[in-house]
Structure formats: structure tokens, C-alpha cells
Chain A
Amino acid sequence: MALLRVEKMGHDFGGLRAVNNYNLEVESTQVRGLIGPNGAGKTTVFDLISGIYSPTEGSIVLDGKSIVGLQPHQIAAMGLGRTFQNLRLWRHMTVLEHVKMARYSKISYGLIGAFFGTPRRKREEEEIEEKARGLLDLMGIGRFADQVVVNLPYGAQRRVELARALATEPKILFLDEPTAGMNPEELVQMMEIIRLIHKELGLSIFLIEHRMKMVMELCEIVQALVFGEVIAEGTPEEIQNDSKVIDAYLGREAVH
């Protein structure tokens, strides 16, 4: 059974058909890609599945349960983690706090614990901090743990975002252009990190990418989205050689 199954999903923004008849199946531990030109509706697909918008029609089943109409925090709690195309960090909070925030639903101590430092608070805080530091080390940003995120280099900020998404303990991770704005060196590092988390944590990954190199190297199956519709789906090689994709997205001169 697929971990995530989306069937006949469609969405209108006013009179505009942003996404039409969208279907997706992601098996557990699979890495999938979504490509398409600017404005094709890729991020909208992410927003619809993660509950930012509610789809006009269609069904979305995550791990056997329908998630259509659920609040984003409920969907997140059911195992969907995501990052954003533009960095979305809380500027003046520390790296550690970002990761802790993602553990919100697992913090059970309340006012009394917070104010008087009960043993339960101590235990939970230690556990959270240990896990958080473990994640940050995995991302290679452990040394930044207590720094405020605005002071970090760009590549590290992106990894904070990734660590935060992972801290929600997702079953499936949505990455929205994880290498946007990165230089070649940072790009290579990011690809290694994605491979690493896929291997270490056994996650399913669904990623939006502009760079074909990323998609070719990471994804098992790729969809090409144009004007809100999937025009092709297949292995990276198939997509690369699909004439419709070449027309709509890669451009003719790209086939060499």
C-alpha cells in the first residue's frame, strides 16, 4: 500500500484552475520528484497536500487515513514534514529552538513544570535536547546549535530548516526546491545530506526541483507538471526524453 496516495486532486483559485486531476502515489522509502516551469503549480500541490489549502476536489490518503480538510498541524502530526522554497525561519530564535519547536506536540509538561522545573520537565528537556543535537549533528550544523539563525551562512540556514522538518518525525518529507539559491558547493552538500537522511532515516521524500541534475541523481520517479496538470511521469531518463516535457519545460535546445 502506498504511504501517500493522491487521487484526482483539483484546486481553483477563484476562476483559475491551479491544479487539475492530480494523481500521486508515494511508496515508503521512495524518493520522488516534481518538476515543471515557474507557475506550473508545484508549490500549490505541496500546499494542498500539507493542508495550507483545502483541495476543491479529490482525495488524499496518508498512511491509510484521509487527510482532506484537516488542519496543517494535524497533517504534520500524522507524519508529513516539509521545507519551503524561500527560507522560512524564525529570525531571532536559536537553531536549537527551531528544532525544539518541531517537538511541540511531544512536550507534555505545562505551566508548573516550566516555572518550577519539575523532574518531568528536566527529563523531557534532556530528551528533546539530545534528539535535537543528534539531528543537528547529522545535518552537520551541531556547532551552531545555540546561535540565532540570522547569523548563520545560507547553506546552514537551509539545513536548519531541514532539521526542523525532520524533528517532527515525518514519515514523508516534502522538500520545496531544497537547493534554491545555492552555490555549486552547497548544492553538492545538500544532495549528500538528502541522500544521507534518506538512507539513515528511511524516509519517503517528495521534492520539487528546478535543477535536472538533482532530480536525475536523487529521484526514482519524476512527474512533470505544466499549467497544473501532470504531462508526464516516469523515471528520470524517461522524463528527460519525453517530447512533451522537452517542449514545455526543458526547451528544445536542452536535448543534446
Chain B
Amino acid sequence: MVFFFQNLVNALQWGSFYALIALGYSMVYGILMLFNFAHGDIFMVGAYIGFGVATGLVALASMGALALPTWLILVLTIIITMFLTSLVGMMVERVAYRPLREAPRASAAITGLMVGIILETGNLALLGARRVRFPTLIESTTYDIGGVFVTNKKIMIVVVSLLLMLALDQFVRRTKWGMAMRAMAFDYAIVPLMGVPINTIAALTFAVGSGLAAAAGILFGVAYPVLDPYMGIVFGWKAFVAAILGGRGSILGATLAGFLLGFIEIFVAMIFPSTLRDLIAYSIILLILTFRPHGFFGEPYSARLRL
């Protein structure tokens, strides 16, 4: 039983990463009918920007220019990095996707793959092949709760993730931009006729998704401080799976599916040899999708209405 809860804690942490990234995938897919295959690499970019911001703030603090406690550095890093990565996401939308808005979806998907490669290799060109180390912002403390070991980092990661998901939910429900996003997910083409600038909403969708991916990048850096330019690929694919599993454009779906993915992976590894983890885990997902091809909360649809 202790063993189960230990894995549950780990699964929650992994699920947080997947869910945060999946949300961006799902939103872009739901609202713009577009698979942003560069999204995993946005997660990577976020981790690196977070690395840069955190390193800079730590340096400033150690020089005595800013007297900041480390927790405040972490908060600032998250806020600044989310903002900067949002700008990257908006740039990707503007440069790579907007010109292809009316193009066949396959073209846009290929563009996404190319943007991903550009971000990876651009990072290589900029920082070289060496891995970088995310600065330590939280001193690890381990709590023993009835035999289950929980670190303060894990708690922080799960709590921050849940707060961000809650914020996203409120954003989509309460703001006019969120309302426009929901409308666009149902029928995209008529939204501008209500006086809504859809380019702004499209850019904002990318900004929000990229910001969440950036948060995942920082949280990942806090837990696993070694970053490399290709770290986004596998995460991107798995988050993509979670987005599909959750159902098109469903925030709740992407969140639950992200956590489910984390659970399945961790618990498969608990029972089977860890080399078989992904093989078995993704066979299970495949099986679920066979019975629910539209995901948990997606509804069957044929073609989307366009004018």
C-alpha cells in the first residue's frame, strides 16, 4: 500500500507535466483545428528560457543587486518565462501558421514539424550541444508521510500545475477572449462577423498554450535539472496523445488524460520491467482510443463548417 502511494505521488508529478503540455495542444487543436507539432519544442524553449531567467536572477541575487529569497526567484522565473515563451508561441503562430490558415491541414502539420526542428537546431546553434543545468531554486526537503516519501518539489510542482489549470479554466469561462475561443471551437468562420478579431484570438490561444508549456518546462527543470535541446520531442508526442485522448479542445479532458498518462506509465513500470513501460502503456492508450475514438470529452464531428 505504501508502495502504491509512493507511485501515486510520482504519477501525479509526471501527469502534471503531460497535462500542462497537453492543454496547449488541445486548445490549439480545438480552436484552430491545427496540430501544433512544434508544441513539445515550445516546452523545451520554455525550459531554456526559464533556465536563462533563473540563472540571471540567481546571479543578480548573489551579487547583492537584488535581495531576493529563492522562492521569490522561482515565482518570478515562472511569471517572466511564461510571458517570454508566450511571445515565442505568438511568433510561431504569426510566422508559421497564420499564412496557412486556409491551407490543407497537412501543410500546417508539416510546418509544425519544421518549426520544431528549427527550434531544436536553433537552440543547438545558440547554446551548443552541451547540456545545461537548471539552477537549484528549492532546497529539496523530503517528508515522510506514513512511509511515503514526498519531496517539497513534488508538492510544489503538482500544486502550481493545478493552480495554472484552474486559472485556465476560469480564463476560458470568464473572459471575453475565452468566450471567443469557445465560440471559435464550435464555428470558427462566423466569429469575426460578431466583431471579434480572430487573429488576436488565434495569437492569444498560442500565447496561453505556450505559457502553460513554459511552466511545465520550468517545473520539469526544478525536478530534473539537466536540459537538452531534444527534451521536448518525447514530451511533445506524449502530450499530443493526451490531448487526443482528452477529446478535441476539452480542457478537462486534456488535464485528466495527461494525469492518466502519468499514472499508466508509472504503474506499468511498477509492475513490469521499465524497458517495457512505453510499449505497454501506449498499447493501453491505443485500446482506449479504439473504443473511444473521439477521446473522453470529444464529440463526433465530420467536417468543420467554413464559409
Contacts and interface: CB of A to CB of B under 8 A. Distances in A.
Q: Do A and B come from one complex?
A: yes
Interface of A: 47, 50-52, 71-73, 76-77, 81-82, 84, 86, 88-93, 97, 100-102, 104-105, 107, 110-111, 114-115, 164, 168
Contact of B196 (A51, A88, A101): A101
A91 B305 CA distance: 12
B192 A73 contact: yes
A104 B194 contact: yes
A90 B182 contact: yes
The 6 closest A-B pairs by CB, nearest first: A90-B186, A72-B192, A114-B174, A73-B192, A114-B175, A76-B195
A88 B183 contact: no
Contacts of A86: 305
B: interface residue count bin: 20 to 34
Interface in B179-216: 179-180, 182-183, 186-187, 189-198
Contacts of A76: 192-195
A81 to B, nearest CB: 8
B176 interface: yes
Contacts of B183: 90, 93, 97, 101
B307 interface: yes
29 contacts: A73-B192, A73-B195, A73-B198, A82-B193, A86-B305, A89-B186, A89-B187, A90-B182, A90-B186, A90-B187, A91-B186, A91-B187, A92-B186, A93-B182, A93-B186, A97-B179, A97-B183, A101-B179, A101-B180, A101-B183, A101-B194, A102-B195, A104-B179, A104-B180, A104-B195, A105-B195, A114-B174, A114-B175, A168-B194
Contacts of B170: 114-115
A53 to B, nearest CB: 9
Contacts of A89: 186-187
Contacts of B186: 89-93
Contacts of B194: 73, 76, 101-102, 104, 164, 168
